[in-house]
Amino acid sequence: MRDLLKECLAGETELVELRYHHKENRSFFAEKNRIESSSLRKRSGVGVRVLHNGTWGFASTSEISKVSIQNAILRAKKVADLSSSLRHDKIGRLPEVTFAKGDFIGAGIADFRNRTVEEKLELVLKTQEKASKSSPLLQSVGCGYSEIYEEKAIVSSDGADAFFSMVRPEFRVNAVANEAGKLETGSESIGVTGGWDCLFRNQSPDELSEEACKTALDLLKSELPKGGLSMVILSPSIVGLLVHEAIGHTVEADFVLAGSVANGKLGKRVGSDLVNLCDSGQSEYYEGAGGTIPVDDEGVLPERTVIIENGILKSYLHNRETAAKFGVKPTGSARAWEYSDVPLIRMRNTYLMPGQSSLEEMIANTQDGYFLDGAKNGQADATGEFMFAVQKAYRIRNGKIAELLKGVTVSGLAFDVLQSVDMVSKEFRWDLGSGHCGKGQPAKVDAGGPYIRTKVLLGGN
């Protein structure tokens, strides 16, 4: 495929990027002791981007042939011609980069190919059937498995020449418990980059379903907390949601240029000395993070980017264009969902680095507070203000975990929360690899980190 793309670039004197992308999406979902849905979707094509007359032009084709690709190049140039007069800040010379060259074959692909459809159907059906029988209070249990397999070849007239492939499986269980009309839910999900051994490395399918059902059942007996500013210990899942939604998006350079809260804060304190925040295309600490990419969609090698170091904001996330504006190197953060999508600045694997404390020490040193675990949903905006729902919240009294609480939300300003961090655990976990990040188009990402102790505004009664 790379040879075909390079043939299409012959004679081009301007910057032209060609991105071949083949993607397969498969999913199964079981509920009520039967398979409720099953789907398979395949797409292939070539995305074409040109830098022409000081602006970008983009086109795509689903026909993989030299003629069709070269026609798409011509269309992309026409698009650039039409939009160039409307662009006041023309794009000049892009920065030099370390381009990816060669083949990058992801882990777990052989395992993915060897697993039959029947085996995947059996996985969700048997897990769902077993879980639904665990308690008469369970009104429903749903179990789903999905996977994305993709291949990309990225070639550009200024040096990119790479091919890579990867597989990303996911597994999830949702449980609803009902007692006298009172409903509570519990959910567990996991998503990785790799094979089944990676997906179920820490918990088996049955263990994940047992945890989801237990959460729903335990919440039937729980009460609402009192609201107010509180000392909390956040689990890696909550930390991951915080650093992704409330901080990571604000440091994407296109959002920075649009006026996010991170604009103008480089070199300034945004967290306590214990806060070190990174974003990496690789899976740091252990393999399998769900946002892992070997090459970004501009053909750049995605190095680890230190965003916050010892509480000081050090870097934004860049593609080649914004890197030129800021006079820095691109961070390998340009990503497109499918061949027909334009690459955008996106996070990959975003995380807080671990610290020196243990979780046990953190709990023992908290006389009055809460332990929060299990990110549910929420929102954040360009100011860094956020509100997240928490699946499980435990009261901490006199250094010990006490009762389970329900209906808990946390809110605040992300940089204020980071400023309040006074303990960071040695334990680390990726915990946001399932689902998708949205920013005009989906993206597979991951986020996580250690347990941290900080202060947030707790919502309850």
Instruction: Tell me how far CA of residue 141 lies from CA of 175, 199, 211, 324, in angstroms.
Output: 4, 21, 12, 51
Residue 254 and residue 42: Cα distance in Å, rounded?
31
C-alpha distances (whole Å) from 243 to each of 239, 278, 323, 446 are 6, 9, 22, 11
CA 332 to chain centre: 15
C-alpha 61 chain-centroid distance: 28
**pLDDT value of position 376:** 84
Instruction: Give the pLDDT confidence score for residue 85 in this predicted structure.
Output: 87
> Across the 461 residues of the chain, what is the mean pLDDT of every consecutive 10-residue run?
96 95 97 96 98 96 97 97 89 91 95 92 96 96 97 97 97 97 95 95 96 96 91 97 96 97 97 98 97 97 96 98 96 98 98 98 97 88 93 96 94 96 98 93 97 94 72
CA distance 294 to 459: 40
d(CA 389, CA 215): 15
Q: Is 111 helix (H, G, I), strand (E, B) or coil?
A: helix
Rounded CA-CA distance 272/419 in Å is 5
- Cα–Cα distance between 96 and 57 in angstroms, integer? 21
CA distance 260 to 257: 7
What is the pTM for the complete model shown? 0.96
Q: Yes or no: say if 349 and 282 are a contact pair by the CB < 8 Å rule.
A: yes
Q: Which run of H or of E encompasses 176? A: strand 161-179
DSSP strand pairing (101-105 vs 161-179): parallel
CA 373, 376, 382 angle in degrees (round to 5)? 105
- At 207 the pLDDT is 97
Amino acid (one-letter) located at 206: D
HSE-up of residue 385 (Cα within 13 Å, Cβ side): 1
Whole-angstrom distance, CA of residue 439 vs CA of residue 346: 8
Domains of the chain in sequence order: 2-219 (3.30.2290.10), 228-459 (no CATH)
**pLDDT of 169:** 97
